[in-house]
Amino acid sequence: MSETVQDSTLTRREFFSGLGRGAGLLALGGLGGLLGSRWAGADSVWQIDPFACVRCRRCSTECILEESAVKVVHDFNMCGYCRLCFGFFQTNPVELDEGAENQMCPTGAIQRRYVEDPYYQYTIDRELCNGCAKCVEGCNKFGNGSLYVQVLHDRCVNCNECSIAEACPADAFVRLPADRPYVMKHKGPERVKELAGRG
């Protein structure tokens, strides 16, 4: 009879030992899967398709970072270097000067520099830009659309699920190859589709 109890004890011990090994293997498998998915995601990054963006201004408020990873960029190949740029100026400016009351940008992030009559160059100060896209709205409504928003990858932490992408009403966020993470708007919407693997 004591022999049976001893066999039963060994079986129980073997059972718990096997259970522990199984749980350990399951945990390692889960960790491997998680790392594998992170590794697979490392070759692509989040970006905004400027042709799909509706300039809803959520990029400035929905990012998990305190200061959004989304900033305005300027495609100089498309710019008309206009004296009256509606990305820079309010639609009804008091004067055509750099006074804050005349500017579209609430943070003064767009710098205007005289080139030669009648041309001006407009650049974005990244440190001041909050990604609100008010300037993008003006540029797209009355100009040629050379201002648009992009995720800056020296700031973005490439979350598995981007909170801005989730909030985006136009589904404008796409995954692009990490070695080509930016869109040059002048290359057209077909280039975005090609990079995103949709073309």
- Residue 189 C-alpha from the chain's centroid: 17
Q: Is the peptide bond before 118 cis (omega within 30 degrees of 0)?
A: yes
Q: Can you give the pLDDT at residue 36?
A: 40
Q: How many CB atoms lie within 10 A of CB 150?
A: 23
| Single-letter residue type at 125 | D
For 92-118, the pLDDT digits (tens) are 888 888 999 999 999 999 999 999 999
pLDDT of the residue at 16? 55
Q: What angle do CA 162, 88, 152 make, to 5 degrees?
A: 25
Residue 30: what pLDDT? 46
Report the SS3 class of residue 155. coil
Q: Is the pLDDT of residue 38 over 60?
A: no
Sign of the alpha-carbon dihedral angle for 180, 182, 185, 189: positive
- What is the reported pLDDT for 31? 43
Rounded Cα–Cα distance for residues 77 and 100 (Å): 27
| pLDDT (0 to 100) of residue 11 | 63
Which one is predicted more confidently, 17 or 49?
49
Tens digits of per-residue pLDDT, 1-35?
444 444 545 465 665 566 556 555 555 544 444 44
Residue 39's pLDDT band, with cuts at 50, 70 and 90, is: very low
Q: Are 131 and 149 in contact (CB under 8 A)?
A: yes
Q: For residue range 131-168, what is the model confidence (pLDDT) as tens digits? A: 999 999 999 998 899 999 999 999 999 999 999 999 99
Asked if 54 and 169 count as a contact pair (C-beta separation under 8 A), the reply is: yes
If DSSP codes are grouped into helix, strand and coil, which group holds residue 72? strand
pLDDT tens digits for 171-195?
A: 999 999 999 999 999 999 999 999 9
Q: pLDDT confidence of 69, banded at 50, 70, 90?
A: very high
